[in-house]
Amino acid sequence: MTARASDTGTDGLIMPTPPRSSDFKALYLKLERTLDNIERIEESTVLLETVLQILVRDFRDDLGFEMGRLYRSEGLDYYLCCAFGGSWPMPIGYRVPREHPPHVRTLADGLLIMRKGDPGYDEQIATAIGVGTTFAAIAVGPGNTHVLVFSVDGEINEEQVLYSLSAVRHVINMKLQQGKLAGLLEEARTIQESLMPSGSPQVAGYEIHGYSRSAEVVGGDLYDYLPRRDRLLGVAIGDACGHGLPAALLARDVITGLRMGMNEKSRVSRTVERLNRVIHRAALSNKFISLFYGEFGPGGALVYCNAGHNPPLHQHGTTLRPLERGGLILGPSPAARYAQGRTCLQSGDAVVLYTDGLIEREDTRGKQYGLARLKRLLRGMPEMSARKRVEAIVGDSDRYAEGVAQQDDMTVVVVRRT
């Protein structure tokens, strides 16, 4: 495979194309649609039992879940109160001590994947409850009142299981705590407005313009400008899965984390790795957000890292090249490593950054706007200013979807070398 310019790191090594976020997004949307169907369930135990059944019944092909178990905290220990799937005779009421190593890790981290042979794997307990060789678990509820455990059949896709269980854990906790969250909406809107750029920065050699519009009162899209040393300008764009309050809170965490985590001597990729660990540990978020972060320097140099985001387009005349180098979407894996890409903007070149709320916008027939339409539009405006380009993109999107309510947050940022 021949490496593109944007696929070669600062160390000169050729790296494979990073994982795309499409599989995760499709899986999240399936989870979101499924869990939407149970939002009317008020009693927490019924809610958890229903979730257990749905994950085993409907997600076996996606995640390999063959059996699920629900444990309830009573005193210092956890007791099996519900089981679904599998043929193993489940001893309802079986006691698992709180100090049982897998439970300790699950309660500490919120979720766990464990295989036979891992430290803390107890074969005696595993045999008693029919775990098998691999299982995954999440702790949910205020104070971790319940633990859901799933036996995994066959080879496990760890990233997808972590992603899915984190999403499920988030939705359950939001449902169980929704009464406490009612007062946060206005606060989140105020905070989000204060964090978003109030205008375009003035940077020698560049013109910049950005626009963002939420589908609800608050949204999960973000963009930010971060002035750096030696006339460097950091530009970030991100998209939290879903929209509304949970996505807005995560976007807030990412902007704050970027601003606080900047280190003048750090590589862009290392900054993103630190941020990924912060997002993974976040408690009140859906824990998945795509992010593109790049630093534009004098002479047109761009150093960037793409964490599962829609690849921005580097436009040179009518030529469009995606900026893909980076790694996994932020959140699912705290140990994820990220690569760093480089490219160079010549005079008149532009980088067009966007979120999927633009290209996935639908018309009255349910057909999406699409990346191909965006590219055709851009090829017709190779000399247009950053502001005019953003206005043209947003205007074309609005005309395309005329008569259809906006379903997702939409953000567009253009950086043009003058």
Q: Does residue 18 belong to any structural domain of this protein?
A: no
Torsion of CA 136, 140, 145, 147, to 10 degrees: -10
Q: Are 114 and 121 in contact (CB under 8 A)?
A: yes
Domain presence at residue 41: yes
First to last CA, the chain: 34
For residues 232 and 356, state if they share a domain: yes
Q: Is the pTM of this model over 0.75?
A: no
Look up residue 41 and give its two tokens.
Answer: 């369930």
Last residue of a domain, one of 161, 181, 201: 181
Q: Are 190 and 153 found together in one domain? A: no
Looking at the structure, do residues 42 and 138 belong to the same domain, yes or no?
yes
Q: Is 13 a member of any domain?
A: no
* Residue 333: domain span: 186-417
Same domain, 363 and 282: yes
Three-state DSSP class for 308? coil
Position 94 in a domain: yes
Give yes or no: residues 207 and 346 share one domain.
Answer: yes
Is 250 in the same domain as 288?
yes
How many structural domains comprise the chain?
2
Task: Tell me, yes or no, whether 109 and 204 share the same domain.
Answer: no
In a domain? residue 54: yes
Name the domain boundary from 163, 181, 199.
181
We report the CATH number of the domain holding residue 118 as 3.30.450.40
Looking at the fold, whether 286 and 170 belong to one and the same domain comes out as no
Q: Are residues 343 and 315 in the same domain?
A: yes
- Name the token pair of 231: 């006339």
Domain boundary among 143, 162, 181: 181
Q: Is residue 12 part of a domain?
A: no
Judge whether 237 and 220 are in contact, CB under 8 Å.
no
Q: Would 10 be classed as within a structural domain? A: no
The residues that bridge with 319 in the sheet, in sequence order, are: 316
**3-state SS record for the chain:** CCCCHHHECCCCCECCCCCCCHHHHHHHHHHHHHHHCCCCCCCHHHHHHHHHHHHHHHCHHHHCEEEEEEEEEECCEEEEEEEECCCCCCCCCCEEECCCHHHHHHHHHCEEEEECCCCCCCHHHHHHHCCCCEEEEEEECCCCCEEEEEEECCCCCHHHHHHHHHHHHHHHHHHHCHHHHCCHHHHHHHHHHHHCCCCCCCECCEEEEEEEECCCCCCCEEEEEEECCCCCEEEEEEEECCCCHHHHHHHHHHHHHHHHHCCCCCCHHHHHHHHHHHHHHCCCCCCCEEEEEEEECHHHEEEEEEECCCCCEEEECCEEEECCCEECCECCCCCCCCCCEEEECCCCCEEEEECHHHHCCECCCCCECCHHHHHHHHHCCCCCCHHHHHHHHHHHHHHHCCCCCCCCCEEEEEEEEC
CATH number of 300's domain: 3.60.40.10
On whether residue 239 sits in a domain, the answer given is: yes
* Conformational region of residue 132, where left means phi above 0, alpha means psi within -120 to 50, and beta covers everything else: left
Q: Tell me, yes or no, whether 130 and 215 share the same domain.
A: no
Is residue 323 domain-shared with residue 383, that is, in the same domain? Answer: yes
The amino acid at residue 49 is E
Query: pLDDT (tens digit, 0 to 9) for every residue of the chain, 418 residues total?
Result: 333 333 434 333 333 333 344 566 666 677 767 766 666 666 666 788 888 888 888 888 888 888 888 998 887 788 888 888 876 666 788 888 888 888 888 888 888 898 888 888 888 877 777 777 888 999 988 788 899 999 888 777 787 788 788 878 877 777 776 655 555 556 666 666 766 787 888 888 999 999 998 887 667 888 999 877 667 889 999 998 766 666 777 777 788 778 776 665 678 888 899 888 888 876 444 468 899 999 999 889 999 999 999 999 999 999 999 999 999 998 888 889 999 999 999 999 999 999 999 999 999 999 999 999 999 999 999 889 999 999 999 999 999 999 888 888 899 999 999 9
User: Are residues 192 and 246 located together in one domain of the fold?
Assistant: yes
